[in-house]
Amino acid sequence: SEAKVGEQQQIQNKKLSQPAIFIPVDRSPEIQEARLKLPVLAEEQVIMEAVRENPCVVICGETGSGKTTQVPQFLYEAGYASGSGIIGITEPRRVAAVSMSHRVAKEMNLSTRVVSYQIRYEGNVTDETKIKFMTDGVLLKEIQKDFLLQRYSVIIIDEAHERSVYTDILIGLLSRIVPLRNKKGMPMKLLVMSATLRVEDFTDNQKLFRTPPPVIKVDARQFPVTIHFNKRTPLEDYTGEAFHKTCKIHRMLPPGGILVFLTGQAEVHSLCRRLRKAFPFRKGNTTTDEEADTSEAMRKFKKAKQKKTSLPRIDLDNYSALPVDEGDEDREAGIGDEDDEGSDLDIGDDPGDAEEKADPSIPLYVLPLYSLLAPEQQAKVFRPSPPGTRLCVVATNVAETSLTIPGIKYVVDCGRVKKRFYDRVTGVSSFKVTWTSQASANQRAGRAGRTEPGHCYRLYSSAVFGDFSLFSEAEITRRPVEDLVLQMKDLNIDKVVNFPFPTPPSAEALVAAEQLLVSLGALKEPPRTGRVKEMEQARLSCPITPLGRAMASFPVAPRYAKMLALGKQQDCLPYVISVVAAMTVREIFVDLDRPAGSEDESSKLTQRRARLTQMRRLWAGQGASLLLGDLMVMLGAVGACEFAGCTPKFCEENGLRYKAMVEIRRLRGQLTNAVNAVCPEVGAFVDPKMAPPTEHQVVCLRQIVLAGLGDHLARRVQAEDILDPKWKNGYKTPLMDDPVFIHPTSALFKTLPEFVVYQEIMETTKMYMRGVSAVEAEWVPELLPQYCHFGPPLESPQPWFCSSSGTVRCHRSSTFFRVGWQLPAVEM
Ligand code: ADP
Ligand code: MG
C-alpha cells in the first residue's frame, strides 16, 4: 500500500543520512514487510544517533515492539560488527537467548554460525559469529576471563526491567568497563533495554553513571484490552479456574488465540493435559510407561553387607581446586529459571473435567511454553496454528515479556508468580507462589492487544489487584547473597560493599555472606590484629581462596559447593553429587501430610503413607548409614529410582515426585561435568547403577555434610537443662532462642542424636529441622575450626574469627560459637 511504500522510503532516507558504514542485509520481502510494522523501526535513526554520541543508552519499549530482534540488526547494519568486535546481547532467560538468536538469523538471512547463542553448556558460537545472544550468567563468566570484554564492540543488556541479579551485576560492571575501554582507545557501547519505563535505578544513579544515559522511548501500537476481574478470588485451585475460563472462552467467544499465565512447568503441563482432554485435537499418542523392576531396585539398594572398620576421616585440605588459568567451562551462575522449579503436588487425575465436555468441532491447539521446554517445542508457538483450530498457549511468565506470541486476543491471568524466597532464620531459599505485581499483571494483559483489541480475564478480584505491589522488587533485595558475593570475589571484586549495584543488597546481608564464605574457607580469613577500623575494612574485603574459586565454578549454593569440593575423598564423589542434587531440588517426596479430599482418597493416602514410611526406613538403612539420616534417605531414593530407570511408575509407587527425580538426574550430569572441569583427574561419571555407599563412605559423607552445613549445627538439650517443658526433645541452634525439633517423618526421629546438622528449618506446628544428619562431637573442632573457640572458654566470646589455622590450634578444649558448647579436646 501507499503508506507502506512511504514508510519504506522514509527508512531508506534515514539509512542514507547515516554517515557510518552501512553493511547491507539481504532480507526476504515477507520479513521486511513484518519488520516495517514494528514500532522500534520508526526510532532507528534516533537510537543509532544516541548510540553514536553516548557510551550508554537506555531503550524502553513495550514487549513486542521489536527491541530484541531489531536493535542488534540496527547495530550490525551500522557496522558495529564489521571490525574485530562483535555484538553481544544478554537475556536473563535461556529460552529467549536461544529462540531470539534463531529468529534474528532467519530475519537477516544469515547462518547460525554468524548469529549465534551461548547458554550454559550449550551454544553454536563460531569464529564467524557477529551477533551473539547469551544468558547474563555466561557474560558474567566471560568478564572473569577478560575484564575488558575485548571481543565485543557493543553489549546489549536486554530485559533489564526483570531486575535479575546477574543483569544488575552486569550493569554495575559495565558502568566501569565501558569508560575503561574508551579511555584505552577501544571504544565500546552499552545498551540497556527495558519493557517498562521504570529505569530510574539505572539512569538516576550517581554511583552507576556520572552523566545519566539518554532514555529512548519506543511508542508501541497497543490496541485496547478490556479487563475482566473475577468476582471472587480462588485461593487454591487457580489452575482449575484457569481451565474453566479457557473452556468458556473457547466455546463462546470469537476466534483469536488464548494465552494462559500460570506459575510453573508442572501447572502448565497439568492444564495442557486437561485442555487436550476436553478439546481433543488429534488422538493422543499416549506412551506406556516403561516397566520398572521395582523389587530388584529395592533389593539392590538395601543396605549392603558391611564390615566394621575404624572410623575414617575426611581431610579439609584435600579439595578439588581449579588448576591455575584453566577450566574453560561456560555456565550460568544459578541453576534453572524460577519457573522451572516445579512443585507438582497434585497426584492422580484432575477432578471435575466431566462437566466441561465441549463441542469438539473446533479443535483447540494447546501448546505449553516455559523456560526449559525443548527449543523445537518452543518454536511451535511462533508458527501459525493448523487451519481451523484455535491456538491456546499455556505459559509461565516467560510469555510476559521475553517472548511475543503472535495472534493472541485473550489472556487468562492467574495473578500469581513463582518466586524464590529467602528465610533469614533458616538461611535457605525456597520457591513460593505469590501474587504478582500490578506492573506484571498489566504486562500480561497487554499481550492480548498486540494485533487487535483484546480481552484479559483476571482470575482474581479488583480488590485483590488493588493490594498487589506496584512493581516487582529487584531480585537482589529478596535473596541470599553468599553465592553472588562468591561470584564477585571470583571476578576479583574484593570490596563488594563498594560495588555500584543498581539496587544494593542490605549491608547486613553482605556482611553475613562474607562471614559465611570465610568460614567455609572460600575467602581468606581477615587479620585479627591491627586497628579496629582497618580490621573492619579487611573483614569486608576478603580475597578469594583456591577453594573458593573451585566452589564458584559449581552451579550450587556455597554450602553445597563446599561439599562438592571435598567430595572426591574416599570415592565419595558420586554420593556427594547425588545428595547435593537431591538437596537442591526441592520436595523430592510427595506431600502425604496434606488432608485428603474424599474418603476414597483418604484410604489411598493412608496406603501410600504406609508405603512411603516403609520405603524411607529401607532407604535409611541401619547402624552407620542411619546416622546420615534424611540425607541417606534421599541418597537411597535417588539410587533406587535410578536403578529402576527413573520411571513415573516407580516414583508413583514409592512416593517420589517424578519431576523432581528427573531434575535430579539432569543435575547429577551437570554437577559431574562441573567437578570434572575443576578436577579432571577424578574422572567423575554418572553411574545409573550406583552401588550403595559402604559404611566407611557413609562416615565420610557425614563429615563432608558437616563441613558444608557447619553453620546449621544443632544440639539436643540435655535432660538436666530442661526447665521449660517446651524444650523436651528440643534442639538448640546457635542463632535462635526457641527450640527446634526433628520431624516425626525424619529418619532420626527416634534416634535423637546429640549433634545434628540440618538443611533448613520449616515452621509448621513447631519449628522443624528438615534434611537432618547426625554428626559426632569430636568432628566439630576439626572440621569447623572457624566456628570454634579453642583453649579455655573466653570471658566474652567473640562470635567470629577467633581461631586460626596454625598457631592457636593445639588446645585442650574447644567450644562452639556463641553458644559455648563444650566440645571434646582436639589433639593436633
Ligand atoms: P521486544 O523485544 O520489544 O519485546 P521482539 O523483538 O521480541 O520485541 O519481537 C518483535 C516481533 O517479532 C514480535 O511481533 C514477535 O511476534 C516477532 N517474533 C519474535 N520471534 C519470532 C519468531 N521466532 N517467529 C516469528 N515471529 C517472531
Ligand atoms: Mg525482548
> What confidence category does residue 4 fall into, taking pLDDT thresholds of 50, 70 and 90?
low
Q: Which ligand lies nearest the alpha carbon of 63?
A: 1
Residues 402 and 93: beta-carbon distance below 8 Å: yes
Contact 632 CB / ligand 1 (< 6 Å): no
What amino acid is encoded at 523 in this protein?
L
Contact 103 CB / ligand 1 (< 6 Å): yes
Contact 786 CB / ligand 1 (< 6 Å): no
ipTM of the predicted assembly exceeds 0.85: yes
pLDDT value, residue 718: 84
pLDDT value, residue 7: 58
Q: Over range 279-306, report the average pLDDT.
A: 42
- 215 CA from centroid of ligand 2 (Å): 17
* Ligand 1 atom index nearest CA of 220: 3
Distance CA 184, CA 115 (A): 28
pLDDT value, residue 3: 56
Contact 65 CB / ligand 1 (< 6 Å): yes
Burial class (CB in 10 A: 0-12, 13-18, 19+), 511: middle
**∠24-26-27 over CA atoms, to 5°?**
125
- pLDDT exceeds cutoff 80 at 6: no
Q: How many CB atoms lie within 10 A of CB 13?
A: 10
42-51, 415-424, 684-693, 757-766, range with the lowest pLDDT: 415-424
Tell the residue nearest (CA) to atom 23 of ligand 1: 103
Distance CA 465, CA 198 (A): 20
Give the residue from 17, 811, 774, 763 showing the smallest Cα distance to 424. Answer: 763
Tell the residue nearest (CA) to atom 17 of ligand 1: 404
Give percent above pLDDT 70 in the chain: 82
14-28, 555-569, 735-749, range with the lowest pLDDT: 14-28
Residues 6+ apart with CB under 8 A from 184: 148
SS (H, E, C) 602-628: HHHHHHHHHHHHHHHHHHHCCHHHHCC
Distance CA 89, CA 74 (A): 13
- pLDDT exceeds cutoff 60 at 301: no
Distance CA 799, CA 817 (A): 6
Q: Over range 303-327, report the average pLDDT.
A: 57
> What confidence category does residue 798 fall into, taking pLDDT thresholds of 50, 70 and 90?
very low
Q: Which ligand lies nearest the alpha carbon of 161?
A: 2
Distance CA 319, CA 551 (A): 10
pLDDT value, residue 285: 30
Tell the residue nearest (CA) to atom 18 of ligand 1: 404
Give the residue from 633, 642, 56 showing the smallest Cα distance to 297. Answer: 642
Distance CA 257, CA 448 (A): 9
Give the residue from 87, 92, 94, 139 showing the smallest Cα distance to 114. Answer: 87
Greater confidence (282 vs 561) lies with: 561
Give the residue from 738, 702, 744 showing the smallest Cα distance to 717. Answer: 738
Greater confidence (725 vs 634) lies with: 634
- pLDDT exceeds cutoff 90 at 124: yes
Note the maximum CA span of the chain.
93
Span 516-555, pLDDT tens digits: 999 999 999 888 777 878 777 777 889 999 999 999 888 7
Contact 443 CB / ligand 1 (< 6 Å): no
Contact 446 CB / ligand 1 (< 6 Å): no
Residues 699 and 679: beta-carbon distance below 8 Å: no
Tell the residue nearest (CA) to atom 24 of ligand 1: 382
Tell the residue nearest (CA) to atom 27 of ligand 1: 382
- pLDDT exceeds cutoff 60 at 103: yes
pLDDT value, residue 598: 66
pLDDT value, residue 183: 94
* Ligand 1 atom index nearest CA of 40: 3
Q: Which ligand lies nearest the alpha carbon of 38?
A: 1
pLDDT value, residue 810: 37
* Ligand 1 atom index nearest CA of 70: 6
Question: H helices of 476-598, where?
Answer: 482-490, 507-519, 532-539, 546-552, 558-566, 573-584
Span 169-196, pLDDT tens digits: 999 999 999 999 999 999 999 999 998 8
Contact 38 CB / ligand 1 (< 6 Å): yes
Contact 63 CB / ligand 1 (< 6 Å): yes
SS3 27: coil
Cell numbers for 438: 500490578
Q: Which ligand lies nearest the alpha carbon of 378?
A: 1
* Ligand 1 atom index nearest CA of 63: 4
Distance CA 556, CA 582 (A): 12
Distance CA 559, CA 641 (A): 26
pLDDT value, residue 788: 84
Contact 67 CB / ligand 1 (< 6 Å): yes
Question: H helices of 364-520, where?
Answer: 375-379, 398-401, 438-446, 462-467, 482-490, 507-519
> What average pLDDT is seen over the chain?
82
Q: Which residues pair with 788 in a beta bridge?
A: 816
Tell the residue nearest (CA) to atom 26 of ligand 1: 382
Q: Which ligand lies nearest the alpha carbon of 59?
A: 1
Contact 240 CB / ligand 1 (< 6 Å): no
Name the DSSP letter for residue 494.
Answer: -
Distance CA 472, CA 55 (A): 28
User: Considering the entire predicted model, what is its pTM?
Assistant: 0.70
Span 198-213, pLDDT tens digits: 888 888 888 899 889 9
| Cell 498489566 sits on residue | 442
Site to substitute for ligand 1 among 70, 259, 404, 450, most atoms within 8 A of C-beta: 404
- pLDDT exceeds cutoff 70 at 333: no
60-69, 358-367, 384-393, 664-673, range with the lowest pLDDT: 358-367
* Ligand 1 atom index nearest CA of 100: 20
Q: What contacts 24+ positions apart, CB below 8 Å, involve 502-508?
A: 502/163, 502/168, 502/171, 502/172, 502/201, 502/202, 502/205, 502/208, 502/474, 503/163, 503/168, 503/201, 503/474, 503/476, 503/477, 504/476, 505/476, 505/477, 505/481, 506/477
> What confidence category does residue 362 fall into, taking pLDDT thresholds of 50, 70 and 90?
confident
Span 583-615, pLDDT tens digits: 988 678 877 665 555 677 778 878 888 888 888
Contact 480 CB / ligand 1 (< 6 Å): no
Contact 64 CB / ligand 1 (< 6 Å): yes
Q: Which ligand lies nearest the alpha carbon of 158?
A: 2
Residues 6+ apart with CB under 8 A from 113: 124, 126, 128, 129
Site to substitute for ligand 1 among 35, 43, 59, 69, most atoms within 8 A of C-beta: 69
Greater confidence (346 vs 628) lies with: 628
Greater confidence (431 vs 96) lies with: 96
> What confidence category does residue 223 fall into, taking pLDDT thresholds of 50, 70 and 90?
confident
Q: How many CB atoms lie within 10 A of CB 469?
A: 13
Cell numbers for 275: 485442555
- 367 CA from centroid of ligand 1 (Å): 18
pLDDT value, residue 667: 85
How do 760-763 and 767-770 pair as beta strands?
antiparallel
- 64 CA from centroid of ligand 2 (Å): 7
If you average pLDDT over each of 14-28, 351-365, 600-614, which comes out highest?
600-614
* Ligand 1 atom index nearest CA of 402: 4
Residues 6+ apart with CB under 8 A from 452: 223, 256, 409
If you average pLDDT over each of 355-359, 412-416, 429-433, 565-569, which comes out highest?
412-416
213-227, 760-774, 795-809, range with the lowest pLDDT: 795-809
* Ligand 1 atom index nearest CA of 69: 6
- pLDDT exceeds cutoff 60 at 51: yes
Distance CA 543, CA 268 (A): 44
